[in-house]
């Protein structure tokens, strides 16, 4: 998707402010938003790529001006309403109630099976690697170009690498293809490669450090032979 969230190589937005001794959470509601991602994902409301796509559909101004976990809350609301798990009118009523009564206790719900599942995922992770008998079309050392077209919907093909040429540095096997999974079309496993670019090829000879390189992991459908 070609939106404001794709900020690689974008300037004019000011410096990145690094907060000294930054806490993990700035407010308790961020903990809740963080927890809602895995718990709703395992229920099948969205996968990680759909989760990203939901964030990408925020209004550009809201996206740029809102805190990080606001983005999470937005996409969780988007998909749980879409799945029929949340009634928008009921959500509005509860939101109004807690705005007017900020110290009111939140509902207490126990789900031991979900807690056990979350503990397993936290310790073991959830790999995006998927088996596929699809043969690799490229190998380490191949010179490749990132396709320059601008796809609709979710994609992990950043604008600043489109049309650029680099060399495959590593091949990783097959993984969930975000451009399929993020758009609700299934895993469609594709080969993933690490491509090495010269900074000068990305930013231009005058702007780039001549000794600098950039690596980017790309899925095979993004590539063509150079």
Eight-state DSSP code of residue 129: B
Domain range list for the chain: 28-124, 143-225
> What H or E segment, with its residue span, contains residue 215?
strand 213-219
Is the alpha carbon torsion for 209, 160, 5, 215 positive or negative?
negative
CA distance 179 to 116: 31
143-225 maps to which CATH number?
A: 2.30.30.50
pTM: 0.90
Is it true that domain 28-124 has CATH number 3.40.50.2300? no
Is the pLDDT assigned to residue 17 strictly greater than 90?
Answer: no
Q: How confident is the model at residue 125 (pLDDT cuts 50, 70, 90)?
A: confident
């Amino acid at each position: 998707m070609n939106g404001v969230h794709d900020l690689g190589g974008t300037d004019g937005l000011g410096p990145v402010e690094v907060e000294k001794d930054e806490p993990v959470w700035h407010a308790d509601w961020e903990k809740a938003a963080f927890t809602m991602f895995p718990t709703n994902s395992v229920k099948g409301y969205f996968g990680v790529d759909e989760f990203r796509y939901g964030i990408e559909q925020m209004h550009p101004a809201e996206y740029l001006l809102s805190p990080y976990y606001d983005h999470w809350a937005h996409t969780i609301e988007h998909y749980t309403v879409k799945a029929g798990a949340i009634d928008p009118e009921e959500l509005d009523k509860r939101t109004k109630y807690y705005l007017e009564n900020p110290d009111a206790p939140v509902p207490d719900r126990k789900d031991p099976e979900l807690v056990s599942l979350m503990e397993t995922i936290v310790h073991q992770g959830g790999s995006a690697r998927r088996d596929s008998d699809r043969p690799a079309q490229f190998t380490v050392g191949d010179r490749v170009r990132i396709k320059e077209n601008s796809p609709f919907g979710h994609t992990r093909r950043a604008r600043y690498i489109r049309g650029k040429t680099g060399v495959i540095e590593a091949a990783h096997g097959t993984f969930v293809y975000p451009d399929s999974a993020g758009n609700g079309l299934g895993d469609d496993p594709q080969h993933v490669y690490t491509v090495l670019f010269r900074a000068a090829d990305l930013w231009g000879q005058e702007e780039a450090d001549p000794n600098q390189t950039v690596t980017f992991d790309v899925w095979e459908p993004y590539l063509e032979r150079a």
